[in-house]
Amino acid sequence: MKTKTYKKLIAKRLNQDFKSAVEIVEVPIAKPAGNQLLIQNKFAGINGGFDTLLCRGDVPYVNLIPPFDLGVEAVGEVAAVGDHVQDFRVGDAVVTTVRGGGYREYQVIEANLALHVREATPEVLTLMPTGVSALVALEQVGEMRNQEVVLVTAAAGGTGHIAVQLAKLAGNHVIGTCSSEVKSQLLRELGCDRIINYHQEDLNQVLKREYPNGINLIFDCVGTKVFDICVENLAVRGRLVVIGYISEYGKNPQPVTQPRIYHQLFWKAASVRGFLMPHYQQYMAEARDRLLNLFYTSKLKVAVEPAQFHGIESIPDAVEYLLNGQNSGKVVVRF
């Protein structure tokens, strides 16, 4: 191999702002040990919310001290194999979901952490772990059924657009929220039954007027006011899954000065449930295989944000783009 060094993005210091926390460093390409692979990353998934919280020191279950590596999922090609590796060859396409393995041009990892895929595309990357998270959250936490009303917020985003399709495939009536005509168009193409562009229509009013019996299952990515509206509009025995609270990631959390939400939940026997993928690892392999199968049989579409981000240098802009709500589908960076 001619190249001797590669670039990666690290968190150099904790900071409220992602751009101020990170730095690009150039390091030597390591030779893989016996059971390891050297992978050349082709695409990495941008998780603007998680990245920002990590750089602020606000992800309680990891508690990293800078400097630390950034990025999670990547898809690429095997560039070298360790002497004891049997299942991989140079040139194989693989996907990886290792914390710290995403925002770098090369990574060395244990071979058992890589998964063979047909090709190293951003669509395959979007299914893992973003699509997997949507599937596991809907089924394991949301107890998704059929013939129910399901609401997905940030429905045209990376996670949301997969959730919309999975809820439709399960036989539900699906409502999706978004902020632009371009995103509405994507949701129409994905078969979303009721699209609410919240710049044109008031979410609370639409839900109250058109769904007087409430919403059975809510997949909320947004938080703050949207979360409050979701709680208010839950059906009897409705389930609200907290997927994230992206409206707060760029800011300090708002103090809440209103009645406790158990007043709203109790009388409807409704529930609010948190979801965090790392606590549901045992469902990952089955979910991943099912999603890949749906994708390869054209039953599931994968939308990748058309704006192109090239190279390690572009990652802070890609994070900002996502946190500004500009994207449709999954934001990826290509190397």
Tokens coding 221: 């990515």
CA geometry: angle at 211 spanning 208 and 216, to 5°? 115
Tell me the closest approach of the beta carbon of residue 304 to ligand NAP, in angstroms. Answer: 10
Among 125, 270, 322, 333, binds ligand NAP (CB under 6 A): 322
Among 101, 102, 160, 238, binds ligand NAP (CB under 6 A): 160
Does residue 244 contact residue 49 with C-beta atoms inside 8 Å?
A: yes
Does residue 51 contact residue 10 with C-beta atoms inside 8 Å?
A: no
Tell me the closest approach of the beta carbon of residue 51 to ligand NAP, in angstroms. Answer: 9
Work out whether 275 is an interface residue with ligand NAP (CB under 6 A). Answer: yes
Smaller CB separation from ligand NAP, 213 or 254: 254
Does residue 305 contact residue 328 with C-beta atoms inside 8 Å?
A: yes
Q: How far apart are CA 272 and CA 129, in angstroms?
A: 23
Smaller CB separation from ligand NAP, 275 or 309: 275
Contacts of 309 (CB under 8 A, 6+ apart): 46, 315, 317, 318, 321, 331, 332, 333, 334
Work out whether 165 is an interface residue with ligand NAP (CB under 6 A). Answer: no
Query: Which of the stretches 9-17, 69-77, 153-161, 208-216 binds ligand NAP when contact is defined by CB under 6 A?
Result: 153-161
Does residue 294 contact residue 304 with C-beta atoms inside 8 Å?
A: no
Which residues 255-274 are close enough to bind ligand NAP by CB under 6 A? none
Does residue 131 contact residue 227 with C-beta atoms inside 8 Å?
A: no
Tell me the closest approach of the beta carbon of residue 324 to ligand NAP, in angstroms. Answer: 6
From the CB of residue 32, how many other CB atoms can be counted at a distance below 10 Å?
Answer: 22
Work out whether 246 is an interface residue with ligand NAP (CB under 6 A). Answer: yes
Work out whether 327 is an interface residue with ligand NAP (CB under 6 A). Answer: yes
From the CB of residue 17, how many other CB atoms can be counted at a distance below 10 Å?
Answer: 14
Work out whether 47 is an interface residue with ligand NAP (CB under 6 A). Answer: yes
Length of the chain: 335
Q: How many residues bind ligand NAP (CB under 6 A)?
A: 27
Tell me the closest approach of the beta carbon of residue 140 to ligand NAP, in angstroms. Answer: 12
Tell me the closest approach of the beta carbon of residue 117 to ligand NAP, in angstroms. Answer: 19
Q: CA torsion 205→222→148→280, rounded to 10°?
A: -170
Binding site for ligand NAP (CB under 6 A): 47, 49-50, 130, 133, 154, 156-160, 178-179, 183, 221-222, 243-244, 246-247, 275-277, 322-323, 325, 327
